[in-house]
A and B are shown apart, each in its own frame.
Chain A
Amino acid sequence: AQKVTQTQTSISVMEKTTVTMDCVYETQDSSYFLFWYKQTASGEIVFLIRQDSYKKENATVGHYSLNFQKPKSSIGLIITATQIEDSAVYFCAMREGVGDNSKLIWGLGTSLVVNP
């Protein structure tokens, strides 16, 4: 069965530093897709970045990047030059199945607090 695990429940960092959030996953599928979302204090869930399992290069979008270690079934999220507004809960998710639009399996989230 597919499973996504985020072991860090909360992280606190100083502004302008770099933070890494961990995520490990379990899947039987040879092809899968990994996503990171953030949920703000207002409850809004925002898509950040994705990694397709067949791609060897780590995805990068703005100040978000991924550390994809396929042999370890690990997909870490790296945020560089953190800002106060990056404070949120970050969720790792995996899409199972071969269709384009199958359901997401979610981790329990990591709460990030960025301090001034």
Chain B
Amino acid sequence: NAGVIQTPRHKVTGKGQEATLWCEPISGHSAVFWYRQTIVQGLEFLTYFRNQAPIDDSGMPKERFSAQMPNQSHSTLKIQSTQPQDSAVYLCASSPRGEQYFGPGTRLTVL
């Protein structure tokens, strides 16, 4: 059984460019979560979907971040006009019920 897949594993962007991160959840899992991890802030919740519907985006910076889940097999996190403070590891997790299973993360570096 494949785990959560995240692509790309590493992404480098210039300040002001757009970054799109992809997540493929474990088949059959009904919920998909996005988190961000930095040394300073630790693990921060961004948003989550249940059965493809957005449920809670309370952690998302409103102006430049957006997330979608167009079908049950993938979700995207888009960051427009990236800034150096967006540099972090972005983690996707999926869950059938209860515990969450994490992907390897995408390390985003904004120069």
Contact = CB atoms under 8 A, between A and B. Distances in A.
Nearest to B59: A103
Contact of B30 (A43, A47, A101): A101
B111 interface: no
Contacts of B89: 43
Nearest to A102: B56
Contacts of A107: 42
A101 B31 contact: yes
Interface in B68-89: 89
A80 B104 CA distance: 27
A106 B43 contact: yes
Contact of A43 (B55, B95, B104): B104
Contacts of B105: 43
Contacts of B56: 102-103
A106 B91 CA distance: 14
Nearest to A101: B31
Interface of B: 30-31, 33, 35, 42-45, 48, 50, 55-56, 59, 89, 91, 93, 95, 97-102, 104-105
Given A99-B50, A101-B95, A108-B42, 12 more contacts: A33-B98, A43-B89, A44-B104, A91-B43, A100-B31, A101-B50, A101-B97, A102-B48, A102-B56, A103-B48, A103-B56, A107-B42
